[in-house]
Structure 1
Amino acid sequence: MDKIYRILVINPGSTSTKLSMFENETCLFTEDVFHDSSVLKKFPTINDQLDYRMEVVDKFLKDGNIDLTGVDAIVGRGGGCYSVEGGIYKIDDRLIQDTKAAKGGLYHSSMLGVQMADVLHKKYGGIMIMMNPPIVDELCDLARVTGVDGVYRRAVCHALNLKETARRHAISLGKKYEDCNFIVCHIDGGISITAHKKGKMIDGNDAGGGEGPFTPTRMGTMAVTDITRYFWDKTQAEMKSLCSQTGGLSSYFGTSNSDTIHKKVEEGDRKATRVWNAMIYQVIKYIGSMSTVLQGKVDGIVLTGGLLRFPEVEEKIRESCGWIAPVTSYPGEFEQEAMAFGALRVLRGEEEAKIYPGKPVWDGFKD
């Protein structure tokens, strides 16, 4: 009989922390522990939220009679440390400090994941790991180059869900992820469209930097001339907000609530229909560009993310891209499962956790 391993997964979001407890592959519970946004606003930085969030999490554990004594693994969502190759990493002091300092340039609530794991690890023990943080960098060299000397493209995407979905799809084909070429798309509040070649994510839009299709909250790619003209008299705060919070659907409708906007589409609202379909149209264009990166050798187009709950998203992508490769949809996301199953592979000795190198996986061309 297989040994039973207990694994706690911690995934901080902007106003909540998603907690999951697994026994081997079985999820015992998943809960979004909400944090009062009016309280969060009082903290100058995301790092300053740590103690408050832990108080709320501790109360949740106590109220639910959840005893973490003897837990085998604690997995913290990775944040903005220096860029790394994909995989599972031990959480150590250097990783924690670099994440707190946002060394990878990503300032996001996910940076609290390894910190919260560390707090609980000191109390309950177990191994402590992170897996496929948003700054996974496996770009091919040509994907890094821009038209300005010294400015290079970054890799910031929904790596955790993208790689887990790709791994699952490969298994469904009776293959290994490392033997396949996929175009994998995370389509939700943020949109990542990535080319996976033999287990490496060699290209994709910089979703964290606002590149790619516009989304429910992000303005997406625009011509530089349009950007300079529009932002000429805007503050830096306004620019950042349009890139990550108030752009995209939010800019058109004053809300990023996709259900609210899609209801307008269902009711025949012409503006809502036009903008909604334009968002899908831009996703389709980026999928096409990733097919050329893979030279047309694509084993599958794999879709994941929350917006797939609207059937026409998959339908329109299938209509336009089905000639490239078979289109398969995995609605929702697998972040909690990805982290838990990664920890399980380490506990079972099937995979070894890497040591965080403390420097970017790529830091410029040498010639």
Structure 2
Amino acid sequence: MGFKILAINPGSTSTKVALFDNDTQQLDLTLRHTAEQIAAFPNVIDQLQWRKDMILKALAEQGFDVRQLSAVIGRGGLVKPIEAGVYEVNEAMKHDLTNATMEHASNLGGLIAEQIASQVGVKAYIADPVVVDEMTEMARYSGLPECPRRSIFHALNQKATARLHCDKIGKRYEDMNLVVAHMGGGISVSAHCKGRVIDTNNALDGDGPFAPERAGTIPAGELVELCFSGKYTKRDLKKMLAGKGGLVAHLGSNSVMHLIERVEAGDKQAGVVIDAMSYNISKAIGAMAAAMSGSVDAIILTGGIAYNEPVVKYIEEHCSFIAPIAVYPGENEMEALMLNALVVLKGTITPKVYA
């Protein structure tokens, strides 16, 4: 029997839980949360006990005794900017997750992991949170000193998929220049230069391509007018940027698969908006190629939207001149979490200290 690893990935409408024996997956659970259930909690952090209890109940129903665990690893949240890697959950991290300046379900990952781990006497970790920051100084500048560009992207899946691709072709991640586009509820496009993400968009609340639920970069002047129109509160506007923007704002749905079905049924407007999203992703890929002076070994498309052939085909038509395109649909986040915990348990690496 190997190391028993519990991986936890809280999302806005579900909590994904996976149990591994070394690198062999034994359980894969998706605990769904209705809009009504989520609405009962004023803030995301208020869901901590509820989600933890739900996980423990689900594991018990599957006949698993949590006292067998060797480690628990959670999806990293919106802590302060840090380098990529594995971090043990400590008091400083718990404080920053509990008091995060931005609300996101991922803030619960390390907290739930720590509570379950402490209950059974093992350690809790996070790995490659969304605030991984390896950007160059040049990439941080915007046109206003008060508004620097920020690194908030799908670091866990991007890093894991990039390494998977490099392993597949027999290359070292640290030797490659890659543009990686994670396309999900949010979309992040990043320049991976020799193992470091030197530039990326803030995929959470206002930078880069518009996405199923996020507005991406929008014209600054129009946004100022919107802010002072008197029609919206600050909370309303934040929700328009992340949650009710993008495809939801244009077409009333965050499901690319459903919208493509509408296109096939004759909905021309849905077709135009899907193409516009794909166009914006293609432009962002070109920008990240420029960040590496055009020296790109591969373009990698990943995330749930990569299952949709029309989007992939559009991007291929617009970007294949830059570099070969590799498609890895879906998210490899649970496997990535497991692998990060496993290398710590085996002593291959020492976890970093969050301070």
TM-score range, shorter chain: over 0.9
* Superposed counterparts of 1:322-333, under 5 Å: 322-333=320-331
Does the 8 Å contact 2:157/2:182 carry over to 1? yes
The alignment partner of 1:207 has SS state of coil
* Alignment match, 1:229: 225
Equivalent residue pairs, number: 353
Does the 8 Å contact 1:8/1:74 carry over to 2? yes
Q: How does the TM-score come out when normalised to structure 2?
A: 0.96
Residue 251 (str. 1) matches residue 223 (str. 2): no
* Structure 1 residue 37: Cα displacement: 3.4
The alignment partner of 1:99 has SS state of helix
Q: Distance in 2 between matches of 1:186 and 1:353?
A: 26
Q: Distance in 1 between matches of 2:56 and 2:21?
A: 20
Q: 1:137 aligns with which of 133, 136, 144?
A: 133
Does the 8 Å contact 2:114/2:123 carry over to 1? no
Per-residue CA distance 1:123-145 (angstroms, 9 max, x = gap): 21223211000110110000001
* Alignment match, 1:342: 340
Q: Distance in 2 between matches of 1:117 and 1:228?
A: 40
Does the 8 Å contact 2:205/2:215 carry over to 1? no
Does the 8 Å contact 2:257/2:308 carry over to 1? no
Q: Distance in 1 between matches of 2:91 and 2:225?
A: 45
* Alignment match, 1:238: 236
**1:95 counterpart letter in structure 2:** M
* Superposed counterparts of 1:44-63, under 5 Å: 44-63=42-61
**2:97 counterpart letter in structure 1:** T
Q: Distance in 2 between matches of 1:23 and 1:200?
A: 30
* Alignment match, 2:172: 176
* Alignment match, 2:350: 352
Q: Distance in 2 between matches of 1:280 and 1:189?
A: 14
Does the 8 Å contact 1:35/1:53 carry over to 2? no
* Alignment match, 2:5: 7
* Alignment match, 1:91: 89
Q: Is there any run of 5+ residues in structure 2 with no aligned partner, and where? A: none
Q: Which moved more, 1:248-257 or 1:277-286?
A: 248-257
Does the 8 Å contact 1:70/1:126 carry over to 2? no
Does the 8 Å contact 1:79/1:106 carry over to 2? no
Structure 1: which 4+ aligned runs deviate by more than 3 Å? none
**1:346 counterpart letter in structure 2:** V
* Superposed counterparts of 1:1-367, under 5 Å: 4-102=2-100, 105-233=101-229, 234-357=232-355
Does the 8 Å contact 2:19/2:27 carry over to 1? yes
**1:170 counterpart letter in structure 2:** C
The alignment partner of 1:30 has SS state of strand
Does the 8 Å contact 1:161/1:338 carry over to 2? yes
Does the 8 Å contact 2:59/2:65 carry over to 1? yes
The alignment partner of 1:9 has SS state of strand
The alignment partner of 1:208 has SS state of coil
Q: How does the TM-score come out when normalised to structure 1?
A: 0.93
Does the 8 Å contact 1:106/1:208 carry over to 2? no
The alignment partner of 2:12 has SS state of coil
Does the 8 Å contact 2:274/2:311 carry over to 1? no
The alignment partner of 1:11 has SS state of strand
The alignment partner of 1:121 has SS state of helix
**Residue identity (%):** 38
The alignment partner of 1:262 has SS state of helix
Q: Which moved more, 1:296-305 or 1:264-273?
A: 264-273
| Superposed CA RMSD | 1.3
Q: Distance in 2 between matches of 1:237 and 1:90?
A: 33
* Structure 1 residue 173: Cα displacement: 1.8
Q: Distance in 1 between matches of 2:248 and 2:45?
A: 27
Per-residue CA distance 1:195-215 (angstroms, 9 max, x = gap): 011111110111112211111
Q: Which moved more, 1:248-257 or 1:223-232?
A: 223-232
The alignment partner of 1:282 has SS state of helix
* Structure 1 residue 238: Cα displacement: 1.9
Q: Distance in 2 between matches of 1:80 and 1:5?
A: 28
**1:31 counterpart letter in structure 2:** L
The alignment partner of 2:9 has SS state of strand
Q: Distance in 2 between matches of 1:336 and 1:125?
A: 22
Q: Is there any run of 5+ residues in structure 1 with no aligned partner, and where? A: 358-367
Q: Distance in 1 between matches of 2:249 and 2:354?
A: 39
Q: Which moved more, 1:30-39 or 1:144-153?
A: 30-39
Q: Distance in 2 between matches of 1:179 and 1:29?
A: 35
**1:241 counterpart letter in structure 2:** K
* Structure 1 residue 268: Cα displacement: 2.8
Q: Distance in 1 between matches of 2:51 and 2:340?
A: 25
**2:324 counterpart letter in structure 1:** P
